[in-house]
Structure 1
Amino acid sequence: MGFFIETLIGGLMAGMLYSLIALGFVLIFKASGVFNFAQGAMVLFAALGMARFAEWFPQWFGFESKALANVLAFVAAMAMMVVVAWLIERLALSKLVNQEAVTLLMATLGITYFLDGFGQTLFGNDIYKIDVGMPKDPVIVGDSLFQGGILISQEDLIAALIAAALVTLLSVFFQKTATGRALRAVADDHQAAQSIGIPLNRIWVIVWSVAGFVALVAGIIWGSKLGVQFSLSLVALKALPVVILGGLTSVPGAIIGGLIIGVGEKLSEIYIGPYFGGGIEIWFAYVLALVFLLVRPQGLFGEKIIDRV
C-alpha cells in the first residue's frame, strides 16, 4: 500500500508540472483561438535566459551572492519575455488580425524556429544548469504507517506547490478580472471584441506576456530538474495530451488533465509495464489523448462547438 501511495503522489506531482506547461497552450488559445506550437520554444528560451543571466550578472557587476543573481536573472528573463511578446504582436499577430486559424498556426510555427535559432545565437548551445536552491534529496514520511515509509522528492513537491499556486492565480485572473474577461471575449470573436472597444493588440501583448511568465516558471523548474538543454523544448510535447484531455479552452481542464496523465502514466508503468516490457510511460498519454479525440474531441472541460447551417 505504501508503494502505491508513493507512486500516486509522484504521479500527482508530475501531473502538476505538465499542467503548468499546458497552461501556456490554453492561455494563447483562449486569446487568439489558435494552438501555439511555440510554447515549447518559449519554455526553452526563457530557461536559457534565466540560466545565462544568473551566470553573467555576477561577472558583470562583481558580486558573489547566488540569491541576488537568481533574482536579477528572473527579472531580466521576465523582461526579455515581455519584449518577445511585444515583438510577436507587433511583427506577426497585428498583421494577421481576422485571418484564418491555420494562418495564425503557421505563424506560431515560424516563431518556434526563430526562438530556437535565436536562443542558440544569443545564449549558446551548451547544457546549462539552473540552481534556485530547491532541495534535491528525497525524504521518507509515514514510516510509522507503512513499512519502509513513503519516499517523496522534495524538489518535485516544491515544484508542484509552485505550479499549483500559479494555476490557481491564473484561474482567478481569467474568471474575476476585467482583463481576463476581455481575453475570453477576444478568443470568442476578434471582430466583435474590437467593435465593443477591446484593444486587440494590447490584449495579445498581455496574453503572450503571461504565457511568457508561465514558460519562464516552467523553464526554471524543468531546468532545475533536467538542466537547460535544447531537448527541453520537447518537454512541451508532454503537455499536448494534457490540453487534448482537459480541453483547449479550460484552465481547470489543464489542471485535471495534467493530474490524470501524470498519475496514469506512473501507475501504468509500474503495474502494467512489466507485462509489455516497459516503456508505457512514454506513450500512455498519447494513446489516452487519441481515445479522447475519437470519443470526446473537445476534452473533458472544453466547449462543444455546434455549427448551424
Structure 2
Amino acid sequence: MSSYEISVLLPAKNEVISIGGTVDRIFNLFPDAEVIVVDDGSTDSTASVAEKYGALVIRHPYSKGNGAAIKTGLRAATKDIVVCMDADGQHRPEDIGALLDKVNEGYDMVVGARDHEGQAGLHRSLANGFYNRFASWMVGHKIGDLTSGFRAVRRTKFLEFISLLPNKFSYPTTITMSFFRAGYSVAYIPITVLQRAEGSKSHINLWKDGLRFLLIIFKVGTLFSPLKLFIPISFAYLLLGIGYYAYTFSVDHRLSSISVFLWSTSVTVFLIGLVSEQITQLMYKNN
C-alpha cells in the first residue's frame, strides 16, 4: 500500500442516501485520510450527514457544477495525493488502494477505468468509446476512460491546470488531456463500478453534456496539438478544390474561381494551424 497521505474529494449534490456510507467506508480503510465533501448546493441534508461521519464539508451557496466542486476541494486539500471519486455509491473506496499503489510506482495520475458493464447504458458506452478514441488520437496515447471521475492525482501537478477545468461536468476530460500534453505519467487500472444508490440520480444530460465533452476535446486539443485539427481540415479543402477543378475542367475546360477559393482556404487554415502550434509551444515551454 502506498505511504502517501491522501485527500479524498467527494463532490456531492443531493446525495444524502449514499454520502454517509461512502465517507464511513473511506475512514475505515484510511483512518488518516482527509475526506472533503463539497456540497454543491444540495437541498437535502447531504452536508450534515457528511459532517456526522467526520468529513470536512465545504458548502456552495448554489449549484456551480461538478468541476467547480472539484476545484473547491482541490484548493482546500492539504495532502500529497488527491483522490477524486463520486459520492453516489458507484465508486468503491476499496479500489483507492490500487490507485495509490500505482501512483507509488511513479505515475502522476492513475485513473480507474470502467469496462462496458460499468457504463450507464449502451448509448453512453458508445459515446464514451468515441470520446476515448478521438482523444487518444489527439494526444497520441491510449486513453482507457476519458470521462471517469475516479482518479488519484499528485496535488501539485493537478493545481497547475486548475484554471483550465470547466465548472460543469467533464473536468476528467480536461485534466486527462492536459496531463498528457504536459508529459506527465498517466496510468489506467480496471475498476468495478456499482449501481448508483437507490434514489440517487445522475446529473448528466447525455446530449447537452455529450456536446460539452466533445467541445472540450476540441478546446484542449487546440491547446495540445493544433496541427492535428488544422491539417485534416486544410487537407479536406485541398481535396475539395482538386475535385471541383477536375469536374469543371472535364465539363468546361476551365479553372473555376471556387477551386481557387478552396485552395486558398486550405493554405490559410494550414498557416493558422502552424501559428497556433508555435503559440502552443511557447505556452508550454516550461513543461
TM range (shorter): under 0.3
Structure with a larger share of its residues in strand? 2
User: Who wins on radius of gyration, i.e. which is larger?
Assistant: 2
Larger RCO (CA within 8 A; separation ≥ 6): 1
- TM-score scaled by structure 2? 0.27
